[in-house]
Amino acid sequence: MGSICIVLRRPPYGTVDASEAIRHSLGGITEDMSVKLILVDGGVNTAKKGQDTDSTEYLNMESGVTDCIDMGAEVYVDEMSMENAGLRVGDLIDGIKISKAPEIADIIRNSDTTMIF
């Protein structure tokens, strides 16, 4: 089984980056890969629970992140990016891991493949 690290730097809405990162995460899981989804910079907002997209044309990214966690992906949020976005632990989807930059660097270094969105 290979491993893949997917880094999402872009916000959850306004581009296809978040949906593509989630799609590739789910694809890796179905291929029996070890999947680690890392949310940094604007991507940390993808980890926010209670996202309401009913009045938009966007798919809800909260459900996609939850699906990733439920299917076995490990999802990490960069602590500094989270703080810069004004997010607190209670704002995050259950199952998200908060990590510091050195741990994230180790995850990326130890992955067979890395994709950045």
pLDDT in tens, 48-105: 998 877 777 777 899 999 999 999 999 999 999 999 999 999 999 999 999 999 999 9
Q: What is the pTM of this model?
A: 0.93
Domain chopping of the chain, boundaries: 3-116
Non-local CB neighbours of 42 within 8 Å, separated by 6+ positions: 9, 10, 11, 85
What is the separation, in whole angstroms, between the first and last Cα of the chain? 23
The domain made up of 3-116 is a member of CATH 3.40.1260.10 = yes
Q: Where are the alpha helices (DSSP H) in 10-49?
A: 17-30
pLDDT in tens, 12-59: 988 999 999 999 999 999 999 999 999 999 999 999 998 877 777 777
Cross-strand bridge partners of residue 116: 7
